[in-house]
Amino acid sequence: MTASTGGALAAVWPAGPVEIAVLTVVALVVAVVAAVVVDGARARSRAVVRTAGGASADPLARLLASSRRGFARTRLGRGLADRLAGGSVRLAPLDFAALVLGAGVLVALVVRPLLGVVGGLLVVALAVVGASRWLQRRRGKRVEAFVGQLPEVARVMSNASAAGLSVPTAVGMVAREVADPAGTEFRVVSEQMALGASLDTALLDLDRRLPSRELRVLVRTLVIQRRSGGALSSALAGLAGTLEQRKELRREVVTAVSGARFSGVVVALLGVVSVFVMNLISPGALDALATSGPGRLVLLASAVLFAVGALLIRRLTDLEV
């Protein structure tokens, strides 16, 4: 490498020993977490074939398993676990959080010479928000597909009830005859009841994974009819027609507000992109703003205004059907 090339790289990437050490540590952490996540399925398979009383001889495996269990017991871990399960993402909550944070920090350190410290923090925040939005969108698509199958689910259960079959047997028929995602989710419900869980508990777990008003109506119908008795077959047949009408209404509403929702996304992105463009045009501008009193007020006011605009658009387009 020539002296001029080295000088150019040094100007673009003014990394000293501390920066290099931090980058190395973060890269190693991300690599270790990624390797653990990729090898998670094989690790769980090896754990299954161990004896029930045998403990793992690997201290790292025991530490990771304990950390996963501890994080899953927290409120944040439980909520993230429900969203991951609803989005059909085969990752533990702690693994997903570690991957997102590690990737965000690594990218922030890489772009720090161009965007500064404040820009790096914004990159980390964008990584967290982007991962959350991606997971929410993935879960929303699965919920939408699940809701679209609920009329078929109600018809299958109505036919099973008319034939004199019990509700658990009807749930098993739905798991076998209906395609994914409804078939997969009702298969989980059937397995939970086979392990001793009540129908109410299994259906509430399903509603927590894939929350929707239509599913709550179906759950309440099944629970009330099972407790108080009555013509479950006719109730489910009527519910199937109602759910079919609601499916068409939901499709029309989503089509009507799709443009406004896209505008809300654009408003939120404009604020972030404008900040990055300003720092690229005038390097160090973000750090200069963040180190002065008036600059902090400007950054805070602009962030609040963009957030309020995006929130108002979202509230206006968030219609309950």
What are the extents of the domains in the chain? Answer: 142-255
Cα(268)–Cα(310) distance, rounded to whole angstroms? 6
- State residue 263's pLDDT score: 74
Cα(73)–Cα(303) distance, rounded to whole angstroms? 33
Contacts of 50 by beta carbon, 8 Å cutoff, 6+ apart: 56
3-class secondary-structure state, position 222: helix
Cα(258)–Cα(276) distance, rounded to whole angstroms? 27
Mean pLDDT of the chain: 77
- State residue 40's pLDDT score: 54
DSSP 173-209: HHHHHSPTTHHHHHHHHHHHHHTT--HHHHHHHHHHH
* DSSP state, residue 16: -
Answer yes or no: are the C-beta atoms of 44 and 64 closer than 8 Å: no
142-255 under CATH 1.10.1220, yes or no: no
DSSP 84-99: HHHTT--S-HHHHHHH
C-alpha gyration radius of the chain: 26
Cα(174)–Cα(185) distance, rounded to whole angstroms? 10
Cα(171)–Cα(162) distance, rounded to whole angstroms? 14
Over the stretch 67-102, which tens digit does the pLDDT of each residue have? 888 888 899 899 999 899 888 888 899 999 989 988
Answer yes or no: are the C-beta atoms of 116 and 286 closer than 8 Å: yes
Local confidence pLDDT in tens for the 321 residues of the chain: 444 444 443 444 444 555 555 556 565 566 555 555 555 545 554 554 444 444 445 677 788 888 888 888 899 899 999 899 888 888 899 999 989 988 888 888 888 877 777 778 888 888 898 899 899 889 988 988 888 888 888 888 888 888 888 888 888 999 999 988 999 999 999 999 988 888 888 988 898 888 888 888 888 888 777 776 667 778 788 888 888 888 788 777 777 777 777 777 777 777 778 777 877 788 777 778 778 888 888 878 887 887 787 778 777 766 665
Contacts of 240 by beta carbon, 8 Å cutoff, 6+ apart: 151, 152, 154, 155, 158
- State residue 321's pLDDT score: 57
- State residue 319's pLDDT score: 61
Q: Cβ–Cβ contacts within 10 Å for residue 62, how many? A: 12
* 304's tokens: 């609040």
- State residue 254's pLDDT score: 74
Cα-to-chain-centroid distance, residue 290 = 32
- State residue 29's pLDDT score: 60
